[in-house]
Amino acid sequence: MKNDNNWEPKIVTFLCNWCSYAGADLAGVSRLQYPPNIRVIRVPCSGRVNPFYIIKVLQNGIDGVLVSGCHPGDCHYISGNLVARRKFALLKSFLEYIGIEPGRVQFSWVSAAEGGRFVDIIEKVTSEIKKLGPSKKLSKWQKEAEYIKEILK
Amino acid sequence: MIEKIKETVKKLFKENKIDIFIGYSEGTLPLRSTPCFITRSEDIEKLVWNSYCSNNLAVYLPRFFVSQRGAKDAKLPRIGILAKGCDGRSIVGLIKEHQIPRENIYIIGIHCGGMINTKKIKKVDIVAAEEKNDKVLVEDEDKKKVELKKEELLADMCKTCQYTAPAVYDILLGKEKQKTKKEDREAFIKEFEKKPLEERWEYFQEQISKCIRCNACRQACPNCYCKECFAEQAKPRWIGPTNDISDVMFYQIGRIFHQAGRCVDCGACVRACPMGVDLRVFTYKLIKDVKEFFEYEAGVSLEEAPPLATFKQDDKQEFITEP
Ligand code: SF4
Ligand code: SF4
Ligand code: SF4
């Protein structure tokens, strides 16, 4: 599918209810355009994002993941994002260590007032993941998919 | 040394300080000692101490308490345990995570000189073995004796071990062992980090494809005490029941990641693995990162909060995407 010129990545975003989701909402009501590649999953807090969600998303054949929460200090639950930051730092480093492309899994801070920043981040993340091409490494039935592609050529 | 251990255990039973003692007894094969549970003082004679006492005994502790949790008239056994440096660190972890009550554990710490990795002995037909100072004498079927240097047989983790004795103990036996050379303990991780992305992925894939998901690594790990592991959870079902490599990868990434800030590099998982999966190059990466990012080392203090249960305002965040 990579050689397919109009391939578009699918990106799952986990947005925290209080900041990033509201930021995305603001971008929407302000009629700001951003790439339609993202699928939004609203979570109560970036601290709610189990690292397994991220791996599961990649396993299901999604091309990239963005987790976004409140800026440090602004968390609705005071420190959810700070605990999450530690988890994400380790997870990102570990995934890169085993050979997952650095841009696949990203994290950001976007407040409820930053509609513009939300758009900028989505644009950046989307273009980075587009450059990486379809995600294959952790996705399921990859060998079978390649085999079928091969025999149907 | 073994006499001192026996003496101490005898005293503990005599003074009625423990109900059970966990140590090692002779294994059924040469070059193996096996975990041993003593409940009567007559059995103390079974205890041994040598360079094949590799098992991390801390793995047995949580199960003594799990059945009593929340029980009205909870009966908690008092357990004596022989602890090398790594066992001791695991015990500290378990206490910190409230899996075992400190007051019910009597820790006999011991200065450990390192354990042998029997896989490093190339001979296969060993029928007997004897340890003498820094040498191991092995005898094969034809009664031929070969002398091996213990140093050359040491397990990789033991070679660079920094905590040869536990940090928390009730009594500490033996003489302090010479600290391992200044040799860079993280060298093998740094080397792996330097490899190109695709090469790292190749290696990860190659290792994981050997895994048969027997769960032995999990069972051997003292930190894997969960009553229900994510690997078996059905709601949500994290891992499919297939042998597709992505499911196996999910299992390993999950298990290894769950050891972040908890792994003490005891090597129990590596020893337990029947397929020879190189787990250490992945588990140790998290040890390195946790130390680098959060200045934390597992199992060396009872007070310090586990790194993923706490935070600092100025924690590392260069990885955050900025527009
Ligand atoms: S992950 Fe392996 S090396 Fe680390 S504590 Fe568990 S058994 Fe020991
Ligand atoms: S792998 Fe994780 S969930 Fe499973 S037993 Fe170990 S710590 Fe618990
Ligand atoms: S012990 Fe080895 S083969 Fe078994 S699940 Fe662990 S890594 Fe896989």
Q: Supply the DSSP string of B245-257, one letter for each residue.
A: HHHHHHHHHHHHH
**The ligand 1 atom nearest the CA atom of B157:** 3
Nearest atom of ligand 1 to the alpha carbon of B221: 7
- Check if B264 has its Cβ closer than 6 Å to any atom of ligand 1: yes
- Residue numbers in B near A80 (CB within 8 A): none
Q: What is the pLDDT of residue B179?
A: 65
Amino acid A19: pLDDT: 96
- pLDDT, greater one: B123 or A134: A134
User: What is chain A's pLDDT, residue by residue, as a tens digit (153 residues)?
Assistant: 445 668 999 999 999 999 999 999 999 999 999 999 999 999 999 999 999 999 999 999 999 999 999 999 999 999 999 999 999 999 999 999 999 999 999 999 999 999 999 999 999 999 999 999 999 999 998 888 889 989 998
- Using a 10 angstrom Cβ sphere, with 0-12 exposed, 13-18 middle and 19 or more buried, the burial of residue B206 is exposed
Among B75-89, B108-122, B201-215, which is the least confidently predicted range?
B108-122
Cβ contacts of A147 on chain B, cutoff 8 Å: none
Contact A85 B313 (CB under 8 A): no
Ligand 2 pocket check for B280: Cβ under 6 Å: no
Q: Where are the domains of chain B?
A: 2-117+154-321, 118-153
What does the pLDDT read at residue B97? 94
- Of A19-28, B1-10, B139-148, the range with the lowest mean pLDDT is B139-148
Q: Does ligand 2 come within 6 angstroms of the Cβ of B226?
A: yes
Is residue A71 situated within a structural domain?
Answer: yes
Res B208: pLDDT? 96
Give the residue numbers spanning the domain of A42: 11-152
- For the Cβ of B255 lying below 6 angstroms from any atom of ligand 2, the answer is yes
The neighbour count for residue B256, using CB atoms within 10 Å, is 20
Ligand 2 in contact with B224 (CB < 6 A)? Answer: yes
| Nearest-by-Cβ selection for A120 from B203, B310, B323 | B323
B252 lines ligand 1 (CB under 6 A): no
Quick check: A87 and B308 CB within 8 A?
A: yes
Classify B69 as helix, strand or coil. coil
Distance CA(B151)–CA(A91), nearest Å, equals 36
Q: Test A56 with B230 for CB contact under 8 angstroms.
A: no
Q: What is the domain-level CATH number for residue A104?
A: 3.40.50
Q: Which of B205, B246, B281, B288 to mutate to test the interface with A (most CBs of A within 10 A)?
A: B246
At B149 the pLDDT is 86
C-alpha distance from B272 to closest chain A C-alpha (Å): 22
Whether B25 has a pLDDT exceeding 90, the answer reads yes
Q: φ and ψ at B36, to 5 degrees? A: -140, 135
| C-alpha separations of A96 from A7, B194, B199, B206, B296 in Å | 24, 12, 12, 16, 21
Average pLDDT of chain B to the nearest whole number: 92
- Asked if A104 and A58 touch (Cβ cutoff 8 Å), the reply is yes
Our measurement of the distance from residue B235's CA atom to the centroid of its chain's CA atoms, rounded to an integer in Å, reads 30
Specify the pTM: 0.93
* Atom from ligand 3 closest to the CA of residue B275: 3
> Which pLDDT score, from 0 to 100, does residue B138 have?
82
* Rounded average pLDDT over B176-192: 80
Distance from CA of B179 to the nearest CA of A (A): 29
CA dihedral of residues B199, B203, B206, B207 (deg, nearest 10): -170
**Separation of alpha carbons B323 and B320, rounded Å:** 10
Give the amino acid at B187: A
Using a CB-CB cut-off of 8 Å, the residues of chain A touching B231 are none
Please name the residue that has the structure tokens 């009872």: B302
Ligand 1 and B93: CB distance under 6 A: no
- Using 50, 70 and 90 to split pLDDT, how confident is the model at B229? very high
Angle, helices B197-210/B280-294, rounded to nearest 10 degrees: 130
Range B291-305 average pLDDT: 95
Confidence check: pLDDT of B180 > 90: no
Residues A138, B249: C-beta atoms closer than 8 Å: yes
**Residue % of chain B over a pLDDT of 90:** 73
Is A108 inside a domain boundary?
Answer: yes
Nearest Cβ partner of A52 from B254, B260, B308?
A: B254
First and final CA of chain B: distance in angstroms?
A: 63
Judge whether residue B319 has pLDDT over 80.
yes
Sorting pLDDT into bands at 50, 70 and 90, what band is B178?
low
State which ligand 3 atom lies nearest to the alpha carbon of B248: 8
In terms of pLDDT, which residue wins out, B114 or B127?
B114
Cβ contacts of A97 on chain B, cutoff 8 Å:
192-193, 200, 282, 285
Domain count, chain A: 1
B220: left (phi over 0), alpha (psi -120 to 50) or beta: alpha
pLDDT range class, residue B125, cuts 50, 70, 90: confident
Q: Which residue has the higher pLDDT, B178 or B211?
A: B211
Whether A62 is in a domain gets the answer yes
Instruction: Order across the sheet with B135-140: list the strands.
Output: B126-132, B135-140, B145-149
